Amino acid sequence: MKSPSIHPHVIPVGPTTPSRPRALPPTSPGKRRRNERSPSPEPPRLPSPSKRTVRSGAFTTPGTTRIAKLPAHYHPCLQAQKRAIMAALSNPPDIDMEGDQGETPPANELAFDDLCDLLTGSVVRGEGNSCLVIGPRGSGKTRLVDRALSQVSNDVSPIVIRLSGDIQRNDRLAIREIAWQLSHQTGKQITVGDEEDSDNPDINEDEMEQQGTASLPPPAYLPSLISTLPSQPKPVVVILDAFDEFALHGRQALLYCLLDTVQSCRVGSGLNGLAIIGVTNRVDTINLLEKRVKSRFSGRMLRTAGPRNVKDWWKLTGAILTVPLGKVDDVDGWKELWGGSVNRFLEERSVKTALHETWALVKDVRMLTRILTTPVLMLSPASPFLTSASLLNSITEQRCPVGNSFLTSLPYPAICLLIASVHTRTAGHDTFTFEMLHQLFRDQVRLSIVAPVQIEGGGSIGMAFEHLVSVRVFVGVAAASSMVAKEFVKYRSNVDREEVKKTVEKLGTMSLKKWLGKSQQVHN
Amino acid sequence: MVLPGYETFATLFTGLLTTAPPPFIYIHDVSTPHITSSVISSVLAALPDNPPFLHAIVDASTCFTARLLYDTVTQKLANWTPAWESGCQLWGDQRWNDNFDGFIHGLRAISVERSKSSTTKTRGKTTQLTPKMAIVIERAERLKEFLPDLLVPLSRLAESARLDLTIILISEYPWQELRPLVGSAPDPLYVRPPELSKTDTIQIVVNYFPQDESNSHNPVLLPLYRQFLSTLYDVCSPFTRDPNELAYIAAARWPGFIAPVLDEYRRLRGEICEDSGDAEEEEFELTAPTEDARIRLIRLFTPSFTTALEALYPRLSNATDWAADNQPQRNLLSSGFSGANLLDKSVLQTSQGSLTDILPRMSKFILLAAFLASTNPTKSDIRMFGRALNERKKRRRGGVATSRGGTVKIPQRHLGPIIFPVDRLLAILGILIEEYDVDSRPPAPEYKLPGEYSDMEIRRVSTHSGVMELTAMRLLRRVSPPERLDGPPMFRCAITYDVALRVAKDLGVPLNDLISEPT
């Protein structure tokens, strides 16, 4: 169980359609509108004359209305810069988060120090340790653990066992995986008696396996394998991703055994250390643990968080976009040219607003990287610099993709069926059959003088209906059965009235508008 | 070669995959997912091989179990084809399909294996290159149906396998529909496929033109084919803009469309051969028809495009049969034919329609009674069919009936047939034949009581066997299981209103008067 509330698509901030600008920063609506209309609303005062012309007089930087072509000797630089930025996007650079005087350092730094201490305790001194790393999605949990591990591994490299609650859906699978990873990292063969089914390629079996509890391994395996962990030749670090999923396993046997072994791990008994690191984004994970498991858990919880204020967010954006090139690719003057263009890009009011909005909605760094990916990729010698238009475009697509933006590309009969479905809903029927919509459609064609679609045969309109079903605009309310003829299967529409209205208005067909308008009259 | 219209998409994709591929990409394509995936496969195939880029393109509708998915992906990534001679052995020294862990181990093994074989030398030092991987899953919406547990692990595969790997899902559903409600699937990078314009679509279909030297696909005719497609697109585009559908319709119509030109060519060649005498030597090239002939051709055939669309897009017929049925008459161009009735207006008969014509008269009555029993609510039967002494006028509900609460009542025939017991069917049948079959009966002096004849009729074995026969023909559908003995068997009518109307007309029954709700 993960809490959905931190997900960008379910944030309860009302309709998050990107087309409607949110008034987060206090700008007047008039200004906003002007900004959106002009893709590069750079006032002429911004670029200083020294920056405007670099090397050649014919070349102008972005900000002026027309972007000239990039000089040929910079083309390799642009390519190299693109590659560098893409690499930085997949692995964002660390920046020093801004903190006011006297404020505590960022959560991730604190957590990093704590985690390093804890791992050092286990790896160097041979302690048994357990902790939970909790933080929202994209706040750097996995990164934190990896960084801490690599720091600790400088001295002694531990055996690292990585498990994920999403993959090891029951303890039997988890045990197999532990044994496999142990044997691969130590070179010793460890069997947990799971050979009995490996010769039987029966498909039903792994379905049964995924059912979980039914095929739990005998409890005897758990202690016997896990209690060997401290006696391995090297200290062991077990990382449990999606820790909350493990808490849902039967009797929490794996967690119990792991934490029990950790607790009984004593310094100086000649054994190596063991550390259990649970990673989760569920805040109440500790409450999921049974009492006997909880009492064996150390209770240490490290919290991670995304960028704390919008300045960090901007700084990170700047750091990603101006990532320095290697010595080989750098050409004299490119760094200044590129840096200047990025600065101007980030200074643009619409860019600032868009980034601020994004930060206010999701403090997920991965979202930022996704938003920046397409504009960076689309850079070419013909348009060598980032523009606010491309960023806004990308935000519309990535931050909260409107699932039904394809409605306008639907064929004509499909739009007619959508309007008919709106009519049935207005008439008080949320579910409908194909026959109902078809009847409404036929009536409409009969009533209106202009009948742009022939309906004899009825095949095409049926195909349109099936297309709508196949793209999930119409969703069946009951499982399909062979007893019901397919024109009488009940569906409901996934698209609400407003969206249909917008689509019809965008298409601009008069007869369709009128037809949709009729349902409005009935409605009122 | 990149398909027209997809240039920007392909550039973007190549850029993504060659620089730093994101771990998870989602492509939501409602109109032409198959074309998008073919573009992606051509992009993947064209990627530079240094560092090696392994890719697997699988279809989720064929990988309906986890094992199938794991095996298909690993075999394709390893570029391994099981051979019959070697016992259809899969790649690797062990099985990778036990569970998701095994799958990940398999991916790692493939990566290690490939990095051994691909090395690069920089400054005298040989370093092994870790291959990049891409796994494309088409029709990913099927995953939700068959393997819902795999969606989260798949979306985080790069992270859990610790490989440079990209998962690309192509689906007709938006990601919000697929994403598990509770779960930690990360958000993908959305890539939007382009919308094809008219010129792009036509160019894609033109690319399918076989270009062999046979007459109907002679390269000389390519400009005419383009013009033909343009007209076809104009006719079909309100319904479908899918290039594959257009190509299918074009494939059915083109041989007929070009036949007059070929006839003309053969005629001219025959004349020339006769004139010169030596048929073998004379090379008479096929030329494109003149502008005037083209316009005439298009005008002649445009009406048939609509019929082709109506028959072929829902696949009511297949291209070969349709082309054979709609061959134009010979020597159309030279005969000065106006084109008013180029095609015999044979109405497309549905299978049900032709079936009802061969039914015996009694079966038609049974079918009609079944339709009425399925359409009228049970409580309206007395009102509709009752024969009271004073012969009250049957009152049908007039106007738009509203039930309580203000919602408009939907006629039953739009909601689907209701279930009825066989007794009700027989009762309605009795009324029907009493009312509408009296005139066609042979004289039967032995029946003296009014209605006795009909009563006998509905009790005959042939009537019951007629019911069973109609059930076997799937014109009636038996709802109750045959092994149930208590209670009458239940049925549901399976013919449409149109068919019922045709049957009623055939029998002289005013069907609309017998339906309790207005049509």
Task: Compare A21 and B328 and report the one with higher pLDDT.
Answer: B328
CB-nearest partner of A373 from B22, B104, B237:
B22
CA angle A103, A141, B178 (to 5 degrees): 130
User: What's residue A218's pLDDT?
Assistant: 54
CB contacts of A412 in chain B (<8 Å) are 238-239
If pLDDT is split at 50, 70 and 90, which confidence band does A53 have?
very low
Contact across the interface for A137 and B348, Cβ inside 8 Å: no
Residue A290 pLDDT greater than 60, yes or no: yes
Q: Which residues from chain B sit within 8 angstroms of residue A203, using beta carbons? A: 65, 67
The predicted model scores a pTM of: 0.82
Q: Which residue of B has its CA nearest to A209?
A: B99
Task: Name the 3-class secondary structure at B57.
Answer: strand
Whether A439 has its CB under 8 Å from any CB of chain B: the answer is yes
Residue ranges with strand state E in B263-340: none
Query: DSSP class of residue B40?
Result: H
Quote the pLDDT of residue A211: 39
Q: Do B99 and A206 touch (CB under 8 A)?
A: yes
Question: For residues A485 and B359, what is the distance between their CA atoms, to the nearest angstrom?
Answer: 22
Superfamily of domain A107-303: P-loop containing nucleotide triphosphate hydrolases (3.40.50.300)
pLDDT digits 0-9 by tens, A116-162: 999 999 888 888 899 999 988 888 898 899 999 999 888 788 999 99
- pLDDT by residue (tens digit) across B20-50? 889 999 999 888 899 999 999 999 999 887 7
pLDDT per position as a tens digit, A171-195: 888 888 888 888 888 877 665 544 4
Average pLDDT over residues A82-111: 78
Domain range list for chain A: 4-95+308-398, 107-303, 405-523
Give the closest residue to B408 by CA, choosing from A385, A519, A438, A172: A519
Rounded Cα distance, B396 and B409, in Å:
15
Residues of chain B with pLDDT under 50: 281, 339-351, 397-403
As a whole number, mean pLDDT of residues A459-468 equals: 82
Which candidate from A169, A409, A456 shows the least CB-CB separation from B149?
A169
Is A164–B160 a contact, with Cβ atoms under 8 angstroms apart? yes
Phi–psi pair at A297, nearest 5 degrees: -85, 140
Q: Are A286 and A248 in contact (CB under 8 A)?
A: no
Residues of B in contact with A428 (CB under 8 A): 405-408
Higher confidence at residue A313 or residue B337? A313
Q: What is the mean pLDDT of residues A387-400?
A: 87
Nearest to A433 among B187, B414, B496 (CB): B414
Q: Is A44's Cβ below 8 Å from some Cβ in B?
A: no
Taking the Cβ of residue A413 and every Cβ of chain B, the question of whether any pair is shorter than 8 Å is answered with: yes
Q: Are A409 and B184 in contact (CB < 8 Å)?
A: no
At B41 the pLDDT is: 92
Q: Are A460 and B310 an interchain contact pair (Cβ–Cβ within 8 Å)? A: yes
Report the chain B residue with the minimal C-alpha distance to residue A370: B189
Of the partner residues A9, A439, A483, the one whose CB lies closest to the CB of residue B414:
A439
3-state secondary structure A117-173: HHHHHHHCCCCEEEEEEECCCCCCHHHHHHHHHHHHCCCCCCEEEEEECCCCCCHHH
Please name each of the domains of chain B with its CATH number: 7-191 (3.40.50.300), 198-325 (no CATH), 353-390+401-514 (1.10.10)
Asked if A321 and A24 count as a contact pair (C-beta separation under 8 A), the reply is no
* Model pLDDT, residue B183: 60
Q: pLDDT value at position B59?
A: 94
Tokens representing residue B253 in the block: 């119509």
What residues of chain B lie within 8 A of the CB of A450, using their CB? none
Tell me what the mean pLDDT of segment A223-230 comes to: 80
Q: Using alpha carbons, select from B16, B489, B178, B161 the residue that is nearest to residue A377.
A: B16
Q: How far is B454 from chain A (nearest CA, A)?
A: 32
Question: In Å, how far is B451's CA from the nearest CA of chain A?
Answer: 36
A252 in contact with chain B, both atoms CB, cutoff 8 A: no
How far is it, in rounded angstroms, from Cα A419 to Cα A411? Answer: 13
At residue A453 the predicted structure's pLDDT band, cuts being 50, 70 and 90, is: low
Nearest residue, CB atoms, B101 vs list A87, A167, A410? A167
pLDDT of A50 over the 80 cut: no
Q: Report the alpha-carbon distance of residue B459 to residue B430 in Å, rounded.
A: 10
pLDDT of residue A192: 53
- A64 has a pLDDT exceeding 70: no
What is the structure's pLDDT at A149? Answer: 92
- The reported pLDDT for the residue numbered A521 is 61
Q: Is residue A314 within 8 Å of A356, Cβ to Cβ?
A: no
Please give the residue that has the higher pLDDT: either A118 or A205. A118
Alpha helices for A264-380 (secondary structure H): 285-288, 291-294, 310-321, 334-347, 349-361, 365-377
Q: Which A residues, 132 through 151, put their C-beta within 8 Å of a C-beta on chain B?
A: 137, 142
Distances (CA, A) of A256 to A163, A165, A252: 15, 15, 6
**CA separation, residue A40 to residues A54, A475, B299, B310, B447 (Å):** 20, 42, 50, 49, 96
A443 and chain B in contact, CB less than 8 A? no
pLDDT of the residue at B344: 44
Q: Do A453 and B31 touch (CB under 8 A)?
A: no
